[in-house]
Amino acid sequence: MSLLTEFIAQQQPRAVDWSESHCCTIPARWVAVAEGVAPPMPAVDSQLEALSTILRRGGLVEAVSQIISRRPVATEHARPGDLVAFAPGVVGAGGIGVIGIVLEGLEPLLAIAFAGPQATLHPVSAAAVAWEIAR
């Protein structure tokens, strides 16, 4: 079993608790596992605080880019293990958007998002951008 497959299998979707569990929590853990360095996640206690933090950083894509210290690439370049951003409303992403992890072994490429009590799968082609992880 690959590191990515093993990591995904160990994750448990949880109800959103803004201080401990939101759409960026598991992707941030994946970056830590894949690259050996945990991204510096800002502490938030509510959806309003999360939205405010994201807006201060220029939106979800810019916030994630700053936190993981890299620029996004086009989704056509996404590969398994990369992160992707879905815009608000594209896949039920709510008012902020959602971050997913590109899965391996699936065609077309799918990303899994953990943004609540259930993990959901979405086509990578529906994502706005991707970030290369551990290449």
Q: What is the predicted pLDDT for the residue at 96?
A: 78
Q: Which residue has the tokens 């939101």?
A: 22
Task: Enumerate domains of the chain plus CATH numbers.
Answer: 3-131 (3.90.1720)
Residue among 74, 72, 83, 131 at smallest CA distance from 111: 83
Q: What is the predicted pLDDT for the residue at 18?
A: 80
Residue among 124, 24, 135 at smallest CA distance from 84: 124
Q: What is the predicted pLDDT for the residue at 91?
A: 61
Going by their DSSP bridges, the two strands 129-131 and 110-114 should be labelled as unpaired
| Measured distance CA(19)–CA(42) in Å, rounded | 10
Sheet arrangement for strand 119-123: 119-123, 110-114, 98-102, 83-86, 129-131
Q: Using only the alpha carbons of the chain, give its radius of gyration.
A: 13
Q: What is the predicted pLDDT for the residue at 93?
A: 53
Largest CA distance in the chain: 40
Q: Are 109 and 102 in contact (CB under 8 A)?
A: yes
- For the chain, residues with pLDDT lower than 70 are 91-94
